[in-house]
């Protein structure tokens, strides 16, 4: 069969583009996926004890983009969920992002009250102050607080997560670490926060359930490219792999997981607990908090960051450094020479996208396609 479009990758980017092309343009679409399942890193499934888990780490949908939420709502109902995270700091489990509740838990009462007053006076109640901005204040008490947060919340976690010292990364990384001048323990503040009621995999299955969409799972695109007949291509995989690493591999961080099943309703107080300083793993996730599932068993994942090695493990996070962006731009220049080939997605764009951003990127590309 000849296809109008071949889409490489069945994650949210590829699924969105395939659905739009088939439904709105009546195109014949083939989706080629190297894994044996849909939904990319958002893939969820029931483990051996019947607990619904996310194989590639916790995925919490949150967005301010009404259009994206409305689009995905065609394929799922939602379970409202407000994500909360704790961190183990100095032997205590305290809320993240660092906020006034965290301050109260870790500091003596009078000192915590004085620091709270200074934070409110300087930045206003409800402010989310980047750690570097707090470190630059002229108040010695606030600078000391910033140094405490930097050392106990940010620095150790960054070294484990990225394998680099904070100063070796783009300054935007520290910009994601705020001190919240409020008692708001929500990890995200977006107006839409929820999980698909039947899971991400089922949602993507519905997106791709169309007579003009064909699936080819467990298949490397390069192994079948020569035997396929198609007019145009959308590639959502690693852009450096597409060009056979012409300019060298783009570096990523990868993840390794270990799993534990326990006969218990729940074990953790919240879904995710970060470990900035202790242990080799960065965080643990108990999935029943996310899904609301009732089961006599619970599942906990331990997350170990590691270097990405092509062919040995999966790329997760583009490493935010200027030299890496420069290498990516060389690949973009190669891509611009191709006709009828389009690139989009976390791996093709060498950008870390939240799920809503991946969908928004796909919808934007769809509107621009010839």
**pLDDT of 110:** 97
pLDDT of residue 172: 74
DSSP-derived pairing of the beta strands 78-80 and 192-196: antiparallel
Q: Give me the count of residues in the chain.
A: 370
Kindly state the average pLDDT of the residues 352-369: 97
Distance CA 108, CA 115 (A): 11
Give the mean model confidence (pLDDT) for residues 266-272.
Answer: 98
pLDDT score of 219: 98
Compute φ and ψ for 144, nearest 5 degrees.
-65, -40
For residue 5, the model assigns a pLDDT of 98
pLDDT in tens, 92-146: 999 999 999 999 999 999 999 999 999 999 999 999 999 889 999 999 999 999 9
Residue-level pLDDT at 174: 67
The pLDDT value recorded for residue 278 is: 87
pTM: 0.95
- What are the strands, taking DSSP E only, across the chain? 2-8, 29-32, 44-46, 52-54, 61-63, 78-80, 85-89, 92-96, 98-99, 128-130, 178-180, 192-196, 213-216, 229-235, 252-262, 272-274, 283-286, 298-307, 317-318, 341-343
**Average of per-residue pLDDT across 11-28:** 98
Taking only the tens place, the pLDDT of each residue in 71-93 is 999 999 999 999 999 999 999 99
269: pLDDT strictly greater than 80: yes
* pLDDT tens-digit map of 311-349: 899 999 999 999 999 999 999 999 999 999 999 999 999
Ranges in the chain annotated CATH 3.40.50.720? 2-82+192-250+319-368
Residue 1 — pLDDT band, cuts 50, 70, 90?
confident
pLDDT of residue 250: 96
pLDDT exceeds 80 at position 200: yes
**What's the gap between Cα 84 and its chain centre?**
16
Whether residue 43 contacts residue 201, with contact meaning beta carbons closer than 8 Å, is answered with: yes
Work out whether strand 29-32 and strand 213-216 pair parallel, antiparallel, or are unpaired.
parallel
For 50-60, the pLDDT digits (tens) are 999 999 999 99
CATH for 2-82+192-250+319-368, options being 3.40.50.360, 3.40.50.2000, 3.40.50.720, 3.30.530.80:
3.40.50.720
pLDDT tens readout for residues 151-179: 999 999 999 999 998 888 887 776 677 89
pLDDT digits (tens, 9 = 90+) for 278-291: 899 999 999 999 99
Question: Region 38-46: what's the mean pLDDT?
Answer: 98
The encoded tokens of residue 322 equal: 């200027």
């Amino acid at each position: 069969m000849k296809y109008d479009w071949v889409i490489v990758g069945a994650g949210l980017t590829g699924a969105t583009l395939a659905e739009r092309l088939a439904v709105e343009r009546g195109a014949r679409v083939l989706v080629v996926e190297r894994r044996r399942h849909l939904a990319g890193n958002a893939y969820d499934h029931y483990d051996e004890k019947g607990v619904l888990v996310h194989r590639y780490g916790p995925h919490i949908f949150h967005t301010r983009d009404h259009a994206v939420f409305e689009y995905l709502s065609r394929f799922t109902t939602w379970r409202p969920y407000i994500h909360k995270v704790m961190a183990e700091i100095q032997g205590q489990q305290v809320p993240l992002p660092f906020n006034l509740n965290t301050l109260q838990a870790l500091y003596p009462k009078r000192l915590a009250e004085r620091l709270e007053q200074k934070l409110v006076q300087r930045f206003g109640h409800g402010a989310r102050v980047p750690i570097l901005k707090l470190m630059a204040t002229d108040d010695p008490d606030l600078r000391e607080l910033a140094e405490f947060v930097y050392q106990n919340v940010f620095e150790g976690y960054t070294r484990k997560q990225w394998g680099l010292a904070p100063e070796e990364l783009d300054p935007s990384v520290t910009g994601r670490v705020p001190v919240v001048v409020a008692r708001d323990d929500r990890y995200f503040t977006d107006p839409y926060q929820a999980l698909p009621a039947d899971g991400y995999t089922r949602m993507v299955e519905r997106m791709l359930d169309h007579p003009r969409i064909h699936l080819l799972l467990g298949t490397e695109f390069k192994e079948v490219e020569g035997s396929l007949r198609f007019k145009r291509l959308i590639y959502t995989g690693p852009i450096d792999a597409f060009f056979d690493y012409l300019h060298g591999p783009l570096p990523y961080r990868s993840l390794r997981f270990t799993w534990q099943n326990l006969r218990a309703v729940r074990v953790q107080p919240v879904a995710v607990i970060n470990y900035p300083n202790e242990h080799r793993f960065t965080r643990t996730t108990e999935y029943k908090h996310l899904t609301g599932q009732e089961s006599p068993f619970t599942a906990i994942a331990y997350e170990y960051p590691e270097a990405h090695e092509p062919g040995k493990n999966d790329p997760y996070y583009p490493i935010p450094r200027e030299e890496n962006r420069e290498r990516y731009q060389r690949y973009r220049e190669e891509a611009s020479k191709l006709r009828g080939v389009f690139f989009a997605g976390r791996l093709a764009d060498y950008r870390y996208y939240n799920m809503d951003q991946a969908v928004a990127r796909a919808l934007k590309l769809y509107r621009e396609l010839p």
